Amino acid sequence: MKEINVSQMAVCLRHACAQIVSHESELTAIDTVIGDGDHGTGMKLGFSRLDAMLQQNSFCDMQTLLRSSGLELVKTMGGASGVIFGSLLIGGCAACAEKTVLDAQALTAVFTDAADSISRRGGAKRGDKTMLDALLGAVDAMQAAEGGDIEAVLQAAQTGAETGAEATRHMLPRFGRSKNFRDQALGYPDAGAVSTALFFRGLREGLSEQSNQEV
């Protein structure tokens, strides 16, 4: 598959929602140890509402789809997580203005811009034990796989995000409540990074399912 259209992207986002909702208990368990304990609950609420919104609406272009999805997360999740995960979708909107399909390069640009937006907004960078470690891992892998098709790029994104999330186990936290735990946070992954890896797993699974149906 060389390109992904708006309706296919919406299906992928719904799969991402399902991944995050189904892992609420895992996300809550991590955040209970090194955070406020509400990450899983907030993520389930926001992505459940996003899934419902996607099911009930259609979108004319990629920018409208991503912006509407991001705003739904900001509105329903609230707090820092709402802004951050909303920015994961809103932050890359400029890269897909008026586009109804994205190729591998354009999809990579969306998440590259999203990572830049999140970093500027919150001040975090690679190695700070945040969701950016997973997101930047995904972006790096997508850029390396840009010569392939959409499926190859999303598979690379999933692998990169999962590797980045796992790497946060060995990092000292510098943002959020987890920074108060310092050495006690070692050995535990960042909950936001795990959520980001689940998001990319969902995108990849959604695309694979649709690709298989076309065969």
Residues 6 or more apart from 212 whose CB is under 8 A from it?
Answer: none
CA distance 208 to 37: 33
Q: List the structure tokens of 50.
A: 């996003």
Per-residue model confidence (pLDDT) at position 174: 83
**41-97 pLDDT, tens digit each:** 999 999 999 999 999 999 999 999 999 999 999 999 978 899 999 999 999 999 998
Per-residue model confidence (pLDDT) at position 181: 65
CA torsion sign, 94 to 99 to 100 to 101?
Answer: negative
Q: What is the mean pLDDT of residues 177-182?
A: 65
Using CB atoms within 10 A of its CB, is residue 73 exposed (0-12), middle (13-18) or buried (19+)? Answer: buried
Q: List the structure tokens of 137.
A: 């891992």
Q: Is the pTM of this model over 0.85?
A: yes
Listed residue (92, 82, 42, 74) closest to 203, CA to CA: 92
**144-170 pLDDT, tens digit each:** 997 889 999 999 999 999 999 999 999
Using CB atoms within 10 A of its CB, is residue 46 exposed (0-12), middle (13-18) or buried (19+)? Answer: buried
The region, left, alpha or beta by phi > 0 then psi within -120 to 50, assigned to residue 129 is left
**103-149 pLDDT, tens digit each:** 999 999 999 999 999 999 889 999 999 999 999 999 999 999 978 89
